[in-house]
Amino acid sequence: MSKPNDFATVSELPCGMLSNDELNQILEARHGDPFHALGMHTAADGALWVRCFLPGAQSVEVINGTDKRLRGKLGKRHEAGFFEGPLKATDRFHYRLRVTWHDGQQAIIEDPYRFPPVLGEKDVWWLAEGTHLRPYEILGARVRELDGVIGTSFAVWAPNASRVAVLGDFNFWDNRRHPMRLRRECGVWELFLPEVPEGARYKFEVRAANGHVLPLKADPYALQSELRPSTASVVSHLPDYVPATEERRRANAHDAPVSIYEVHLGSWRRKNGHEWLNWDELAESLIPYAQDMGFTHIELLPVSEHPFDGSWGYQTIGLFAPTARFGDPAGFTRFVERCHIAGLGLILDWVPAHFPTDAHGLANFDGTHLYEYADPREGFHQDWNTLIYNFGRTEVRNFLVGNALYWLERYGVDGLRVDAVASMLYRDYSRKDGEWVPNQYGGRENLEAIAFLKRMNEVVGAERPQAITAAEESTSYPAVSRPTFDGGLGFHYKWNMGWMNDTLRYMARDPIHRKYHHNELSFGLMYAFSEHFVLPISHDEVVHGKGSMLKKMPGDRWQQFANLRAYYGFMWGHPGKKLLFMGCEFAQNDEWNADRSLDWHLLEHGPEADMHRGVQRLVRDLNHFMRHPALHQRDFDGNGFEWIEHSNAENSIASFIRHGADGSMVVVVCNFTPTPHNGMRIGVPRLGRYVERINTDSAYYGGSNVGTPFSATYAEHNGVSGKAHSIVVNVPPLATVMFEWQG
């Protein structure tokens, strides 16, 4: 066989032989249409030819795929490993290649360039249209059988690239060996590689339209990734579909008790002082702890793969891959299953607002601003030095909506807490005049992001109605947790950042000054039922110089603990679902540090161990008492809340009633001064026995043990505070007391 430069023009080439120009493109990793050059082809004279590029091969024969009968020997056109030649056949057939390598070893292999397209016509249509609800089923690396052969199909969206190749362990990371086919209808490059197994590492080499070769790209749809600092994607099994259950639907309902334990897995607890626990070790320790503490849900800071530990997972690149920090995806599957066996829901923090600029990630993916807005006034987050998804692009919206369904359906998680929603809603978020682009109507709202959020919530509601979504939204944007058909964004819950800021500001004040700021305590009830609120004490409140929850409290050491216990009592009595960040449940002394374990030793020894254990006992009891119908059934119904006294600013006392849908009732009395009030008369609407169920001043919690005698009192006919009846109780200093009405 002749060398490529033996033929000056195409007309001089024998019929069926590849042109010199295309051959050079193959050898130089520039060919953008490999199926035109490689595989089986019919020449102009009707003869069948096979062409292949196999670096390291000495000779190549074409054999019948079933009986291994020899059908032709290919000539070596170029020493780099390019072979081609005619066959003794005119009708196409299933063939295989018998290769003799330079070391004399012989192997029979499948030719990737003999296989039909990977994507079906409906998949192509839905991808182009932006309506494919589960694009992860066909994009990325998926182990499958094609034409009777087991292998892995690779598919990646890069519509503006001139060439894309898949590189990996299976081809010695040689960028020449496996260029991909472009499906122009949807901009997806695809290739089926026989015998590539699970566990194989891979990346994509993308050549931009101008010929520039970009840094190797990780797969946006990878189901598994390497542990940082390595950045390759890993071929992994698509998790099985997890059926929805009535039990989980009820546990996630608006009228269910919900108390969420927010956890950063890397710093909840470590072994040997510095090592992360793996998924199974976390299942053995974290799940029983959260269950014993009475939490109903665990919420994990983002577990999607991310390159930088210091981002806590909020700058994710592998949106479909559970981070390798704690093991493989199968381990995460077991963790979710263990949560549900224990009766715990699992919520994931989810980050569709932005992504990091790392070269192996989504940035400039095909040589253009594919996933991000091109204009930095729209596409660059100044606060976090990250890029903003282009929510106006159908394929990007499809990518994100599909990812939401993936975690809910394929791992069976109970919900997604959507991070940084405020930054998505407004184009001028954290920007000065001239640094942002108005929408088409001249306004500041990001209409594309709003449409995306509505679409995501609608799809989740239709496809996974048992699941919940919660918005971290810090502005007064209306109807965040109302259905889209009612003009809302469609979230199930909204974090009540206003309540959190107001009440923490109040608690930080010296009790002597609190009477002048009583509205900070009560104002949240002015709008408590305008949304479906979660009351969040999250990681953001105990980091970056804000101090721990305990350190926020004023006074001497005893008063700090007493203030914190009183605040937790008020929080659990207040309408709304509850969220508490890890460590806050035992009054962690120091600010959260993501690089080390929580200070569990505070519970075991030291002069304040009893006080820390007391706070922990209180949170446990609050969570268990929250199962009382009055404290959860009507969290979002104004008829479930009734003020007794909201204007007793002089004594910094607030008292109110929580009503259950079943007629049950709990009276909550909060005293935010160090002055006890013995024999205080509290108005109530009904006669009967009122039993003290929670007293944050109990000695059991580390308090002074002031309480109502015999822990019970009976209502009398003389009413106060506009109520027909009253009870006489002892109100402890810096404490919250809850009384259950027993009729």
Residues annotated catalytic, as ranges: 419, 472
For residue 62, report the phi and psi dihedrals to the nearest 5 degrees. Answer: -100, 125
Distances (CA, A) of 171 to 87, 194, 204, 206: 27, 12, 12, 16
Contact call for residues 439 and 447 (beta carbons, < 8 A): yes
How deeply is 616 buried, as exposed, middle or buried, from its count of CB atoms within 10 A (0-12, 13-18, 19+)?
middle
Cα(316)–Cα(267) distance, rounded to whole angstroms?
Answer: 18
| CB 565 within 8 Å of CB 735 | yes
658: which strand partners? 641, 666
- For CA atoms 630, 636, 642, 648, give the dihedral sign: positive
**Cβ(674)–Cβ(729) below 8 Å:** no
Separation between Cα atoms, residue 419 and residue 299, nearest integer Å: 12
Per the CB < 8 A criterion, the answer to whether 711 and 691 are in contact is: yes
Cα–Cα nearest to 620, from 655, 650, 580, 591: 580
- The answer to whether 241 and 133 have CB atoms below 8 angstroms apart is no
Q: Which of 405, 236, 395, 387 is closest to 321 using CA atoms?
A: 236
> Residues of 162-198 as b/e, b for ≥16 C-beta within 10 angstroms?
bbbbbbbebbeeebbbbbbbbbeebbbbbbbbbebee
* Calpha distance 611→562 (Å, rounded): 9
Q: Which residue has the tokens 């075991």?
A: 604
Side-chain half-sphere of 646: how many Cα atoms within 13 Å? Answer: 14
- 661, 590, 574, 677: which is closest to 622 by C-alpha? 574
Residue 678's closest CA among 625, 633, 731?
731
Helix (H, G, I), strand (E, B) or coil at 599: coil
- What lies within 8 Å, CB to CB, of 10 at 6+ separation is 19, 20
